[in-house]
Structure 1
Amino acid sequence: MSQVSFNLNPEAAPAEKASSPWRDAWKAFRRNKTAMLGLGIILFFIIIALLAPLIAPYDYKEQVLMDRLKAPSADHWFGTDDLGRDMFTRIIYGARISLWVGFFSVIGSIIIGTILGVLAGFYGKWIDMLISRLFDILLAFPSILLAIAIVAILGPSLQNALYAIAIVNVPTYGRLVRAKVLSLKSEEYITAARAIGMKNTRILLTHILPNSLTPIIVQGTLGIATAIIEAAALGFLGLGAQPPEPEWGKMLSDSRQFIQKAPWTVVFPGLSIMLTVLGFNLMGDGLRDVLDPRMKN
Structure 2
Amino acid sequence: MTPIQEKLTPPWKEAWQSFYKNKLAVIGLGIVIFFIVIALVSPWIAPYSFKDQIMAERMQAPSSKHWFGTDDFGRDIFSRVLYGARISLWVGFFSVLGSVVVGTTLGIVAGYYGRFVDTLISRIFDIMLAFPSILLAIAVVAILGPSLQNALIAIAVINIPNFGRLVRSRVLSVKQEEYIMAAKAVGMLDARILLRHILPNSISPVIVQATLAIATAIIEAAALGFLGLGATAPTPEWGKMLADSKNYITNAPWTLFFPGMAIMLTVLGFNLMGDGLRDVLDPKMKQ
Range of TM-score over shorter length: over 0.9
CA shift digits 1:202-250 (9 cap, x unpaired): 1111100001110000000000000000000000000000000000000
Q: How many pairs align?
A: 284
Deviation at 1:18, TM superposition (A): 4.0
Q: Distance in 2 between matches of 1:112 and 1:279?
A: 26
Given the alignment of the two structures, is residue 193 of structure 1 paired with residue 180 of structure 2, yes or no? no
Q: How many Å apart are 1:24 and its aligned residue?
A: 1.1
In structure 1, what is the equivalent of residue 260 of structure 2?
270
Following the alignment from structure 1 to structure 2, what is the Cα–Cα distance between the partners of residues 16 and 173?
Answer: 34
1:163 equivalenced with 2:153 (yes/no): yes
Query: What is the CA-CA distance between 1:21 and the residue it aligns to?
Result: 2.2
Mapped to 2, the partners of 1:286 and 1:215 lie a distance apart of 12
Match of 2:103 in 1: 113
Instruction: Please name the residue that 1:103 is paired with.
Output: 93
1:44-85 deviations in Å (ceiling 9; x for gaps):
000011001111000110000000000000000000000000
Match of residue 12 from structure 1:
none
Shift of the alpha carbon at 1:16?
A: 8.3
Aligned match for 2:25, one of 27, 30, 35:
35
- Counterpart AA for 1:65: M
Letter in 1 for 2:98: G
Q: Which residue of 2 aligns with 1:245?
A: 235
1:226 aligns with one of 216, 239, 251: 216
Deviation at 1:98, TM superposition (A): 0.3
CA RMSD after TM alignment: 1.3
- The separation in 2 between residues aligned to 1:177 and 1:26, in whole angstroms, is 24
1:137 aligns with 2:127: yes
* Equivalent-residue separation in structure 2 for 1:247 and 1:211 (angstroms): 37
Structure 2 distance, partners of 1:106, 1:31, is: 27
2:251 aligned residue: 261
More divergent stretch after superposition (152-161 vs 20-29): 20-29
Distance across 2 between alignment mates of 1:16 and 1:259: 57
Output the TM-score relative to the length of structure 1. 0.94
Aligned residue number for residue 128 of structure 1: 118
TM-score normalised per structure 2: 0.97
CA distance in 2, matches of 1:201, 1:20: 29
**What is the DSSP-based 3-state SS (H/G/I as helix, E as strand, rest coil) of the residue aligned with 1:51?**
helix
Question: In structure 2, what is the Cα distance between the partners aligned to 1:79 and 1:18?
Answer: 55
Report the alpha carbon displacement of residue 17 of structure 1 after superposing the two structures with TM.
9.4
Shift of 1:167: 0.2
Shift of 1:199: 1.3
Q: Which amino acid aligns with 1:103?
A: F
Distance 2:33 2:45 in 1: 16
Q: 1:235 aligns with which of 225, 233, 241?
A: 225
Q: Which stretches in structure 1 are left out of the alignment for 5+ residues?
A: 1-14
Q: Residues 243-286 of structure 1: CA distance to partner in whole angstroms, max 9, x if unpaired?
A: 00000000001101100100000000000000000000000000
Which residue in the other structure is 1:5 paired with? Answer: none
Structure 1: distance between partners of 2:100 and 2:90: 15
**C-alpha offsets along residues 161-211 of structure 1, whole Å, 9 cap, x if unaligned?**
000000000000000000000000000111111122211111111100001
Structure 1 equivalent of residue 168 of structure 2: 178
State the secondary structure of the residue aligned to 2:75: coil
Distance 2:167 2:177 in 1: 16
Q: Which region of structure 1 is more displaced relative to structure 2, 194-203 or 115-124?
A: 194-203
- Whole-angstrom distance in 1 between the partners of 2:153 and 2:281: 29
Residue equivalent to 2:197: 207
Distance in structure 1 (CA, Å) of the matches to 2:205 and 2:279: 11
**Paired-residue identity, %:** 69
For structure 2, list consecutive stretches of 5 or more residues without a partner in the other structure.
none
Letter in 1 for 2:141: V
One-letter amino acid matched to 1:286 = G
Aligned residue runs from structure 1 range 62-81, under 5 A: 62-81=52-71
> Do residues 51 (structure 1) and 41 (structure 2) align?
yes
Q: Which has the larger radius of gyration?
A: 1
Stretch moving more, 19-28 or 185-194: 19-28
Match of 1:11 in 2: none
Q: Which amino acid aligns with 2:161?
A: P
Deviations 1:90-125 (A, max 9, x none): 000000000000000000000000110000000011
